[in-house]
């Protein structure tokens, strides 16, 4: 039988905007040693802005943006939304689109196959030697020919640094960032957030492998915090999967054990404190 106070703990969490899907998860929350975070949408606002259009020779800024929009029009990725905002109100060309996890999108248009995404996506079609930036970048190609780069910027959610300090005070000893984004931007964001370690340029399956490596070196429990469709496997693999309920995808919310309804990172430390207090009452 489940001690009544565990229900109190779950109720207490719920009243704080934290959905805990079962009492065992609350108990595990009181024993966390490591927390790994996805970057985009979890530590950062997940609202990008296009800051620069850098067309290749012979391509205009308008053309670059138009092709990028044709590829991104149907994507839900936060980067795609920033491209559509920069494109403005016009209707991009209709296209048959495929998302390539951790890399970008590929669209079959009347004018050819447009690809928009990161360096990995470009390498996969034989485009090498691209300039890399200390910002997130969307590289665009038409039928394998490089058209140019859009630089996009995101920012840390307010209060992330304080939330990390609070997690340490609540007994978590290792804070790690796992991201599909490039290493330069990942390092900068991790330093700003006050993380202990960062692992970048990860495909979704790499995030699971990296989490398993962290779990192997941890005597206490390990949580993963994420929001994307791509994060579902790693949310399931962690001792505790924590999803952002507001911005998070349905797949992430479904896969998670704990859902932060308000997307506030500081609610994780609050949940740990509720979990620890609940155990005190039981014992």
Q: How far apart are CA 6 and CA 108, in angstroms?
A: 53
Residue nearest to Mg ion (CB): 228
82: partner contacted, choices ligand ADP, Mg ion, none (Cβ within 5-8 A by kind): none
Nearer residue to ligand ADP within complex by CB, 25 or 224: 224
DSSP-derived letter for residue 17 is T
Nearer residue to Mg ion within complex by CB, 147 or 243: 243
Total Cβ atoms within 10 A of residue 146: 19
List, by residue number, the catalytic residues. 38
Nearer residue to ligand ADP within complex by CB, 55 or 228: 228
Helix axes 160-169, 266-282, angle to 10 degrees: 20
79: partner contacted, choices Mg ion, ligand ADP, none (Cβ within 5-8 A by kind): ligand ADP
Q: Where does this chain bind ligand ADP (CB under 6 A)?
A: 38-40, 72, 75, 77, 79-80, 102-105, 116-118, 136, 138, 179-181, 204, 228, 230
103: partner contacted, choices ligand ADP, Mg ion, none (Cβ within 5-8 A by kind): ligand ADP
What's the number of CA atoms in the CB half-sphere (13 Å) around residue 34?
Answer: 23
Q: Name which position in 55, 102, 228, 241 contacts Mg ion (CB under 5 A).
A: 228
β-strand partners of 112:
109
Q: How far apart are CA 258 and CA 32, in angstroms?
A: 13
Q: Contact at 8 Å (CB) between 138 and 116? A: yes
Binding flag, residue 245, Mg ion (CB under 5 A): no
Total Cβ atoms within 10 A of residue 59: 18
Taking the complex as a whole, how short is the minimal distance between the CB of residue 243 and ligand ADP, in angstroms?
Answer: 13
What's the number of CA atoms in the CB half-sphere (13 Å) around residue 65?
Answer: 20
What region does 26 belong to: left with phi over 0, alpha with psi -120 to 50, or beta?
A: alpha
Taking the complex as a whole, how short is the minimal distance between the CB of residue 282 and ligand ADP, in angstroms?
Answer: 37
The values of phi and psi at residue 205, to 5°, are -70, -30
246: partner contacted, choices ligand ADP, Mg ion, none (Cβ within 5-8 A by kind): none
Taking the complex as a whole, how short is the minimal distance between the CB of residue 101 and ligand ADP, in angstroms?
Answer: 6
Q: Contact at 8 Å (CB) between 68 and 207? A: no
Nearer residue to Mg ion within complex by CB, 227 or 257: 227
Nearer residue to ligand ADP within complex by CB, 207 or 273: 207
Taking the complex as a whole, how short is the minimal distance between the CB of residue 62 and Mg ion, in angstroms?
Answer: 29
Interface with Mg ion (CB under 5 A), residue total: 4
The values of phi and psi at residue 232, to 5°, are -55, -50
Q: Name which position in 30, 34, 40, 75 contacts Mg ion (CB under 5 A).
A: 40
Which spans of this chain sit near Mg ion (rule: CB under 5 A)? 38, 40-41, 228
């Amino acid at each position: 039988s489940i001690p009544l106070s565990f229900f109190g703990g779950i109720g207490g969490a719920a009243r704080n905007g934290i959905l805990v899907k079962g009492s065992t998860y609350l108990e595990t929350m009181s024993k966390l040693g490591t927390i790994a975070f996805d970057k985009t949408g979890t530590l950062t606002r997940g609202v990008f802005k296009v800051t620069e259009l850098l067309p290749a020779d012979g391509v205009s800024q308008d053309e670059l943006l138009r092709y990028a929009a044709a590829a991104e029009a149907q994507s839900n990725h936060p980067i795609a939304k920033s491209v559509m905002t920069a494109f403005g109100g016009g209707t991009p060309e209709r296209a048959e689109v495929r998302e390539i996890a951790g890399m970008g999108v590929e669209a079959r248009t009347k004018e050819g196959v447009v690809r928009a995404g990161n360096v990995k996506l470009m390498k996969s079609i034989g485009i090498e030697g691209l300039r890399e930036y200390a910002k997130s970048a969307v590289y665009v190609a038409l039928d394998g020919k490089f058209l140019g780069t859009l630089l996009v910027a995101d920012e840390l959610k307010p209060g992330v640094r304080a939330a990390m300090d609070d997690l340490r005070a609540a007994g978590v000893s290792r804070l790690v960032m796992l991201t599909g984004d490039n290493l330069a931007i990942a390092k900068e964001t991790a330093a700003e957030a006050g993380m202990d370690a960062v692992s970048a340029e990860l495909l979704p399956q790499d995030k699971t492998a990296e989490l398993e490596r962290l779990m192997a070196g941890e005597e206490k429990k390990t949580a993963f915090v994420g929001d994307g469709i791509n994060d579902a496997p790693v949310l399931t693999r962690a001792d505790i999967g924590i999803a952002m309920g507001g911005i998070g995808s349905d797949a992430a919310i479904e896969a998670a054990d704990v859902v932060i309804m308000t997307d506030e990172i500081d609610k994780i430390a609050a949940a740990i404190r509720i979990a620890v207090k609940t155990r005190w009452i039981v014992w």
